[in-house]
A and B are shown apart, each in its own frame.
Chain A
Amino acid sequence: MKRSNFIYYFVPKIIGLLFILLFVYAASSKLLAFQQFETQLVKSPFFSAYAHWMVWMIPLSELSVVVLFLFQKYLLLAFYSSLFIMTLFSLYIYLVLNFSDSIPCACGGFLSNLGWREHFIFNMVFIILALIGVITTHKQRLIPFSK
């Protein structure tokens, strides 16, 4: 297999696995601590009015993206969806850091132990990974796979 083909074949799969790990972990952590997650959203400066449906919508959208990652033909859509979700989360962190006095973290699992800046950097890394995923998946479709 040519080196470029190797990269375009394996890189999206490895990044996809990282996103599966992240989203399943984040969604299941939120669902396991459902009551706390709801309380955190109610206390959120921007989402308190929508907290009762967002408490379902956030983990379900994360799990929906995981389902997309499981099918090769939806891989590009999965990367775009991940990019969209991670950008929204980062935008929320940016708004909270700059325009709000109250800063509850409605995050799942170990992510809630990260500070806001660390969380922002963590999200940025995954945004970059999603972008790499989009680019390599595009390239993968243009280059015929050969052994």
Chain B
Amino acid sequence: MKSKFFKIVLPAFAILLAISLSFATESNRASQIGYYNHPVFGATPVIVNCDAPSGPQCLHGQYPVFAEEALETPLFKNVP
């Protein structure tokens, strides 16, 4: 019984938990790549959930996020 628990039940539970977690985090996950101006590395890609046409500015930490590497078009945060 103990052996079956370790061989079948727990691995199956771990796999289901991992898949559920990945779905849960992906639904909250950012949907596009933006770029922010890193003080050392310059334009640095970051995944953001910012495709609203207007609204609060999209930020990565304290840095504003832009649509392209040239850092010209600012992105706006999706407000639920």
Interface residue ranges, A against B (CB under 8 Å): 13, 16-17, 20-25, 28-29, 32-33, 36, 39-40, 43, 66, 69-70, 72, 101-104, 108-110, 112
Interface residue ranges, B against A (CB under 8 Å): 6-7, 10-11, 14-15, 17-19, 21-23, 25-26, 29, 31-33, 41-42, 44-45, 47
Check B7–A29 contact: CB distance below 8 A.
no
Chain B: minimal CB distance from A104 (Å): 5
Check A70–B42 contact: CB distance below 8 A.
no
Enumerate chain A residues within 8 angstroms of B18, measured Cβ to Cβ: 20-25, 28
Majority SS at the chain A contact face: helix
Check B29–A33 contact: CB distance below 8 A.
yes
Q: How far is the CA of A20 from the CA of B7 in the complex (A)?
A: 13
Closest A residue to B10 by beta carbon equals A17
Check A29–B15 contact: CB distance below 8 A.
no
Check A36–B7 contact: CB distance below 8 A.
no
Q: How far is the CA of A66 from the CA of B11 in the complex (A)?
A: 9
